[in-house]
A and B are shown apart, each in its own frame.
Chain A
Amino acid sequence: DSGVTQTPKHLITATGQRVTLRCSPRSGDLSVYWYQQSLDQGLQFLIQYYNGEERAKGNILERFSAQQFPDLHSELNLSSLELGDSALYFCASSQLAGTGVSHTDTQYFGPGTRLTVL
């Protein structure tokens, strides 16, 4: 158990819909990262938040957005869903206190949310 929790575990929805994925980081961790893992694209970094502020951006679509709340939990919002958005979405957290993506910090991954778009 990494200490990172994600809900829901599974989500099935239709094209065009909007969903929200939730992540609670490990106690004491200030950074939250979101990743998408699909069979053909592998694990893709989407976005990072540190202490409520966006810190780094990866391959995140404009239809996707995220935020980190004062209690440090984070939500990833996916809208106008397409079939290709079906994937596993992982959240990770770290203690990271510096800027950018520190090359030595340890990220702890949650169990993921499996999204299926029909």
Chain B
Amino acid sequence: TQLLEQSPQFLSIQEGENLTVYCNSSSVFSSLQWYRQEPGEGPVLLVTVVTGGEVKKLKRLTFQFGDARKDSSLHITAAQPGDTGLYLCAGRGYQKVTFGTGTKLQVIP
């Protein structure tokens, strides 16, 4: 069974701080996606990384796929209250999608 562990599980920070969320597995994935989910809504795709070592930037968010395609990280610079939500990584393989355990982020104004 493929498992994706995210850390930390919960994160409460002040506006303007930086943070990093990690997504780790012992399995190799063909690609990895990051989603953000707000209360009462479904997850929304933020980014897809495909190549080992790939780095993608989305404004203040930086995503990295590990060289071995087993892990990924999400770094947020100067967090804002609008970044509050549940962040989910999702590893994709043949006919299977595995979601991570989730990181609940709260950014306090």
Contacts and interface: CB of A to CB of B under 8 A. Distances in A.
A34 B95 CA distance: 14
Interface in B85-109: 88, 90, 92-102
Contacts of A100: 94-95
Given A42-B102, A103-B30, A109 B43 contact: yes
Given A43-B88, A103-B31, A103-B50, A92 B42 contact: yes
Interface residues of B, number: 24
Interface string B11-30: 00000000000000000011
B98 A90 contact: no
Interface in B17-59: 29-31, 40-45, 48, 50
Interface residues of A, number: 26
B44 A58 contact: no
A109 B44 contact: yes
Nearest to A44: B99
Given A90-B43, A103-B48, A109-B44, 12 more contacts: A42-B99, A42-B101, A43-B102, A56-B96, A100-B94, A100-B95, A101-B93, A101-B94, A101-B95, A106-B45, A106-B48, A107-B45
Interface of B: 29-31, 40-45, 48, 50, 88, 90, 92-102
Which 6 A-B pairs give the minimum distances between C-beta atoms?
A109-B42, A103-B31, A43-B99, A56-B95, A100-B95, A103-B30
